[in-house]
Amino acid sequence: MLVEKYRNMLSGKSVIRQLSEFATARGQEIGYENVFDYSLGNPSVPVPREFTDTMIRMLREEPPAKLHGYSPSLGITEVRKTIAASLERRFGLPYRTEHIFMASGAAGALAHAFRLVTEPGDEILTFAPFFPEYHPYVDLTGAVLKVVPPQTDTFQINFEAFEEMLTEKVTAVLINTPNNPSGVVYSTETITKLTDILKKRSEEYGHIIYLISDEPYREIVFEGVDNPCVSAFYDNTIMCYSFSKSLSLPGERIGYVAINPACKDAETMVNMCGQISRGIGHNCPPSIIQQAVAEVIDRTADLSVYETNMNILYKELIDLGFTCVKPGGTFYIFPKALEEDSVAFCRKALDYDLVLVPADSFGAPGFFRMAYCIDTEKVERSLVALRRFVTECYGGK
């Protein structure tokens, strides 16, 4: 008697993964360098040299028991302290060790955040377009994820729909800025308005509505774009961070939960994360990676290629007549397809070896996502294919 809910999930295959598998298979036919694979958000730039050097030095010099021993259940104290100090330095909020819980990437951080503040049946609101994995992440806790429809002209927040959906059953609101898949960064105005509403409604309903801020793209922000620190706007913010994108090590599963020091019961919440871990088999991110990341805190991989790629693609897409909000960060761009059915659109693109992802599962049908975390040279070569595709299928310029 296997558990049906998991067995049933096997039939629903992720579109992104199917496309990525297509790209791999096609790559074996014509050479992967000739497949313009915009499907996966896998960082393309290498981890910083300092990280690798630190790892090698630690492996050589540190006693193995210190390097590879059990981490305390909240994470290694010195690492948590280093992260808290960095957050304080950068964002001016008085984070301390006791506000930080080490987690296995953003997925691990979110798994703890959801369990901290939702009982089965409680609602979490998020905003389209959104990362489709939020559904299994939330649904399998027993809470209910509801998606506020997008404001498609800016991909900021559709406040009218939000205020309507923000009922008493909502215990948390989940945002992701800079955003996957739109690439948009929420403005100060957006965050101010959002948090004002949360304050008002928390008071009205007599319970805290927590703001869960999923920030894996925090360090990938383009020139001239303001990226406000969400926690600075709202006391009851649970920040979920991952080093996957900033340091280009998504496989090493390292991130954290940072509870706003001004949040009610902040320290208790961190301790509760340690209890949640026991129920989900999470026993801290890898010890050596925790220690290495702390040594290179505030460093990032060379993220400039993403902005270069964005500028090339954005210009070309606009030239070709696409409607597209200019990304403020991340390595995604999110144009409107040239026909209503973006699945059909993306299927046709495959004939040109362009692997684009239709945005139905992101909550924004009619749009598609391009993950441009690939070499600039390949982006440039893809423009020819893109132009041919648009001209031949849609009579574009």
How wide is the angle at C-alpha 245 spanned by C-alphas 239 and 247, nearest 5°? 105
DSSP assignment of 234-278 equals -TTEEEEEESTTTTT-GGG--EEEEE-TTSTTHHHHHHHHHHHHH
Return the residue of 28, 65, 223, 224 that touches its own copies, per CB under 8 A.
65
Using CB under 8 A as the binding rule, the residues of this chain from 229 to 258 that contact its own copies are 248-253
- C-alpha 55/C-alpha 292 separation (Å) is 6
**Interface map 271-310 toward its own copies (x if CB under 8 A):** xx--xx-xxxxxxxxxxxx---------------------
Shortest reach from residue 120's CB to its own copies, in Å: 10
Written as six digits, the tokens of 182 are 């739109």
The reply to whether 223 sits near its own copies by the rule CB under 8 A is no
Shortest reach from residue 67's CB to its own copies, in Å: 8
**Interface map 109-128 toward its own copies (x if CB under 8 A):** xxxx--xxxxx---------
The reply to whether 145 sits near its own copies by the rule CB under 8 A is no
Shortest reach from residue 252's CB to its own copies, in Å: 5
Written as six digits, the tokens of 123 are 């609602």
Nearest to 331 by CA among 63, 93, 16, 40: 40
| DSSP one-letter code for 221 | B
The reply to whether 174 sits near its own copies by the rule CB under 8 A is no
- Nearer to its own copies by Cβ, of 30 and 280: the residue is 280
Q: Are the CB atoms for 162 and 197 separated by under 8 Å?
A: yes
The reply to whether 19 sits near its own copies by the rule CB under 8 A is no
Shortest reach from residue 269's CB to its own copies, in Å: 6
Is residue 347 classed as helix, strand or coil in its secondary structure? Answer: helix
Show Cβ contacts of residue 65 under 8 Å, excluding neighbours closer than 6 positions.
Answer: none
Q: Are the CB atoms for 240 and 113 separated by under 8 Å?
A: yes
Q: Are the CB atoms for 357 and 40 separated by under 8 Å?
A: no
- Nearer to its own copies by Cβ, of 43 and 335: the residue is 43
Shortest reach from residue 115's CB to its own copies, in Å: 6
Using CB under 8 A as the binding rule, the residues of this chain from 323 to 362 that contact its own copies are none
What are the CA-CA distances from residue 24 to residues 11, 32, 219 (Å)? Answer: 21, 7, 29
Return the residue of 104, 158, 179, 330 that touches its own copies, per CB under 8 A.
104
Q: Which stretch binds its own copies (CB under 8 A): 3-11, 227-235, 334-342, 385-393?
A: 3-11
- C-alpha 150/C-alpha 363 separation (Å) is 8
The reply to whether 105 sits near its own copies by the rule CB under 8 A is yes
- How do strand 144-148 and strand 170-175 relate by DSSP bridges? unpaired
- Nearer to its own copies by Cβ, of 37 and 252: the residue is 252
Q: Which stretch binds its own copies (CB under 8 A): 98-106, 146-154, 160-168, 333-341?
A: 98-106
- C-alpha 29/C-alpha 189 separation (Å) is 49
The reply to whether 92 sits near its own copies by the rule CB under 8 A is no
